[in-house]
Chains A and B, each alone.
Chain A
Amino acid sequence: MKVDLKMWFRQPKLLIMSIAPLLIISVFAGFFLAKVEILPVAIVMEDNDPAAVRLKDYLMKLESGSGVTWFHAEEDGNAAAQKKFENGEVLGLITIPSNLSGKLNSGEAVEIPISINNINDDVTKNFIQRMQYAFNCFNEGLVCGSTVYHIPRVNFIADTSPDLPMLKYICASILGLAMLLGASLATVFSVAREFEDSTIKELVMTPKLINILGGKLLSAIVQSIIAAVFILLEEWAVFGYLPKNLFMQLLYFFWGVLFSVGLAAVIASKMKRTLTAGILIMVINIGSWWVSGGLAPSEAWTGLLRIIADYWPGTYFYQVYINASLLGNVSGDLIARNMIITGIFGAAMLLAAYAVFVKEVREV
């Protein structure tokens, strides 16, 4: 254990390989992925009809569940708005026709023309849905003459309020990844290095190989604690994120380590090269993080990806870890089920790791 730790601290390359991928994902996902787009639009009012003013106000003031304004809306004259739209300065052009109140009072369904620079379908979807929401707000309780018209409304009940920014979700999931990837990489470096440097021949002399593997596991725990704490501090300093119930993080950390190190040891013993085994472990861990709900909860998916997520044990670690870190707690049934699934996988992998390690050492 001491030898491995000394080696890790003395070799900045190993430190960089452990921390750099996590840092890259954290910074990039945090800065660039975790944003809800505010759509720039131009609103043209053909007159100052009270209904038109009310609609304009809805469009300008609508907010997301986390308090982000849906549109960056500007009121413009027709020519100026058209020019902005053609130059690509605004994504949408909304023209509120004149005499809206009059038309509504006469019982008409009035079409509001919107032109959309549909640069891609995601922008179009966001634009249209936000408009539909605004129109629902407008249509609800619409008074025309002496009649009030209602539409079905939704009472949204969220498990936390306001909706948590995506940034927090991504920070939590990356911290989970830091635990798993940090432990896996540390195991890979310490096991594969013995084969690479041929020091494994000296280890063969040890009466109990399980002690060697145990020492390497302890060293991996120390290294991954350092990596995880580093990422936690980075997320706190850069994004202001701190998980709820910090004490529980230690428990989740040990859970993650026991779950992930077995597979890493199997790969390291088989491949015997730090670079290739390290890259394979990175690919597996980052791919698994994504499949298991690293960027969005897996229960919000359907199709093949959902099936893969359901069968991949990593999902059950991330599911508890992310939700508990963000919400403070999760259901006891969920923890019990997920601990059993990941525990069985982790134990099986540790047994496999010992068997493969012993076999490979003896062959050397």
Chain B
Amino acid sequence: MMVQILAEIKKSIKYWKKHKMIALVSIFPPLLICLLFVGVFKTTGIVNVVVVNNDIEQQADSWTEKFLDVMETRTGTIPYFTLVSKDEATAGHMFDMHQTFAILYIPEGFGKSIEDGNPLSVSVKFTAAHEDISKNVRLGIEARIYDFVKLYGLDTNARPGITIERNLQNEALPRSGYMMAGILIWTMVFFGLLIGGALGANEKEGGTQTYIKMASKGELSALIGKWAAAVIISGVMLIILTLCYMLFFGVKFPNAASVLYLLIMFFALTFIFSLPGVLYGMKAGDFRLVPAPMIILSITLWLVSGALNPLEFSAGYAFFKYLPTSSGIRIMSYALFNRGEQFVQESFTILLSWIAAVFVLFFIGIYLNQSKHKKLSLHRNQQSIRTRSAD
């Protein structure tokens, strides 16, 4: 049986090498996911705002200029604003043509009103069709006003008020960076399912399924061989993808231990997910039916497991924390960014339980399959005995 399994592994690897298009298909979705999900959080940091400055009596050191300088500062929280001065008609046209997201109107006498201690309100016209961007604009402008008041009023003791004294528990980590831990985990799950599915489907596709059935313990050897081959091929694919992530999306492994964690997660997750992948592929028998359900399944698991923000702040936390993908993301977040140490032990326990469950289910499956075959052959023998005695 060992020889059969090894032969199956070799055959599967040859199949993969021969079908480069399938390999290409499996690389596209992870890169697309990175582009879609990670990229979107990298692109809304700076916003163009057109300024219509009606405070015509301003001077270089006027309060209006100081206010606009603070609006353009590139410190503190994003979004940062790039201000472009235009007259009212041009600004209105730019807004209508969607060339700018917002217009800041500075009223006449604004600087003087600040000087007098009773500031006039500025106006901001913006597109409110997208809650998240309008939130960023609303809060971003409020943040700059806070900075302005702090700089010229509170820090100089010109007025009383309250300010923020912030203490950050961890080092800074961009959200797009945080998401990469989850994407590494998703990639493992996706490869396990997709490559397993592709290998599982190839026998029916190539018409070699009958030969496997004819060989003694052929189906079992094929299943184990494909399962192992799926893990091996996933490993090679993961190396390529991890290098892409490092090159294009800034993934960094801070120490050797983090690489070790990656390896452990890889073996655990591809082991768990490539088995259902192979079984599904065998059932479907057509690679074209593999990618879509595997993408749906893997992305669903990834999203409900804390892909975008940590699981403990997501809906369904109490239930979803038991998923193997949640444990994987938590362990990788700890390995890469030193976040969530308190969840590591629990996550490892959950992962080990899943691995054990996969083993148990696999052996139960084999036992049931063999019992079914035994019953079938017994039934056939009895039938042939009856036929002979009747003759």
Q: What is the bound-complex CA distance between A87 and B310, given in angstroms? A: 13
- Are the CB atoms of A334 and B97 closer together than 8 Å? yes
Chain B residues numbered 112-136 whose CB sits less than 8 Å from any CB in chain A = 114, 117-136
Stretch in A13-21, A179-187, A202-210, A343-351 with 4+ CB within 8 Å of B: A13-21
> What B residues does A118 contact at CB under 8 A?
168-170, 172-173
> What B residues does A135 contact at CB under 8 A?
146, 161-164
Q: What is the bound-complex CA distance between A66 and B139, given in angstroms? A: 13
**Residue B142 CB within 8 A of the other chain:** yes
**Residue B174 CB within 8 A of the other chain:** yes
Q: Which of B118, B128, B160 contacts A160 (CB 8 A)?
A: B128
- Are the CB atoms of A132 and B146 closer together than 8 Å? yes
- Are the CB atoms of B119 and A151 closer together than 8 Å? yes
Encode contact with B along A333-355: 1 for CB under 8 Å, 0 otherwise: 11001000000000000000000
CB distance from B337 to the nearest CB of A (A): 8
**Residue A114 CB within 8 A of the other chain:** yes
Chain B residues numbered 153-195 whose CB sits less than 8 Å from any CB in chain A = 153-155, 157, 159-170, 172-175, 177-178
Q: Give the nearest-CB partner of B308 in chain A.
A: A32
- Are the CB atoms of B40 and A295 closer together than 8 Å? yes
Given A122-B41, A153-B119, A296-B132, is A37 in contact with B309 using a C-beta cutoff of 8 Å? Answer: yes
Encode contact with A along B84-100: 1 for CB under 8 Å, 0 otherwise: 00000000010011111
Q: What is the bound-complex CA distance between A301 and B100, given in angstroms? A: 9
Q: What is the bound-complex CA distance between A106 and B157, given in angstroms? A: 11
- Are the CB atoms of B161 and A16 closer together than 8 Å? no
**Residue A250 CB within 8 A of the other chain:** no
> What B residues does A286 contact at CB under 8 A?
32, 36
- Are the CB atoms of A113 and B288 closer together than 8 Å? no
- Are the CB atoms of A154 and B124 closer together than 8 Å? yes
Q: What is the bound-complex CA distance between A165 and B130, given in angstroms? A: 6
Given A297-B130, A299-B100, is A114 in contact with B164 using a C-beta cutoff of 8 Å? Answer: yes
Q: What is the bound-complex CA distance between A125 and B175, given in angstroms? A: 10
CB distance from A115 to the nearest CB of B (A): 5
- Are the CB atoms of B149 and A331 closer together than 8 Å? no
Q: Give the nearest-CB partner of A24 in chain B.
A: B296
> What A residues does B110 contact at CB under 8 A?
152
Given A20-B292, A120-B175, is A128 in contact with B159 using a C-beta cutoff of 8 Å? Answer: no
Given A154-B141, A300-B101, is A287 in contact with B160 using a C-beta cutoff of 8 Å? Answer: no
Q: Which of A64, A301, A333 contacts B97 (CB 8 A)?
A: A333
Stretch in B44-52, B202-210, B265-273, B352-360 with 4+ CB within 8 Å of A: B44-52
> What B residues does A80 contact at CB under 8 A?
none
Chain A residues within 8 Å of chain B by Cβ, number = 105
Encode contact with A along B66-95: 1 for CB under 8 Å, 0 otherwise: 010000000011100010000000000100
> What A residues does B173 contact at CB under 8 A?
118-121
Q: Which of A132, A153, A161 contacts B128 (CB 8 A)?
A: A161
- Are the CB atoms of B138 and A156 closer together than 8 Å? yes
Q: Which of B46, B126, B139 contacts A159 (CB 8 A)?
A: B126
Chain A residues numbered 101-159 whose CB sits less than 8 Å from any CB in chain B = 103-126, 128-133, 135-136, 138-139, 142, 144, 149-159
CB distance from A326 to the nearest CB of B (A): 5
**Residue B254 CB within 8 A of the other chain:** no
Q: What is the bound-complex CA distance between A128 and B129, given in angstroms? A: 24
Q: Give the nearest-CB partner of A20 in chain B.
A: B292
Given A113-B165, A136-B142, A158-B126, is A302 in contact with B133 using a C-beta cutoff of 8 Å? Answer: no
Q: What is the bound-complex CA distance between A100 and B160, given in angstroms? A: 11
Q: Give the nearest-CB partner of B76 in chain A.
A: A128
> What B residues does A117 contact at CB under 8 A?
169-170
Q: Which of B35, B96, B299 contacts A287 (CB 8 A)?
A: B35
- Are the CB atoms of A302 and B162 closer together than 8 Å? no
Q: What is the bound-complex CA distance between A120 and B180, given in angstroms? A: 12
> What A residues does B155 contact at CB under 8 A?
109
- Are the CB atoms of A142 and B160 closer together than 8 Å? yes
> What A residues does B120 contact at CB under 8 A?
152
Q: Which of A16, A136, A159 contacts B146 (CB 8 A)?
A: A136
List 20 A-B residue pairs with CB atoms under 8 Å apart, sorted by A's residue number: A24-B295, A28-B303, A32-B304, A32-B307, A89-B312, A107-B160, A109-B162, A119-B310, A124-B77, A128-B77, A128-B166, A142-B161, A152-B145, A153-B119, A162-B128, A164-B130, A290-B40, A297-B101, A299-B100, A305-B43
Known pairs A31-B303, A122-B309, A299-B100 / 8 extra A-B pairs, C-beta < 8 Å: A33-B308, A66-B131, A88-B312, A114-B166, A154-B124, A154-B141, A164-B130, A334-B96
Task: Mark A residues whose CB is within 8 Å of B.
Answer: 13, 16-17, 20-21, 24, 28, 31-33, 36-37, 40, 55, 64-66, 68, 87-89, 91, 100, 103-126, 128-133, 135-136, 138-139, 142, 144, 149-166, 168-169, 275-276, 279, 283, 286-287, 290, 295-303, 305, 319, 322-323, 326-327, 331, 333-334, 337
Closest 3 CB pairs of A and B: A158-B128, A122-B175, A132-B146
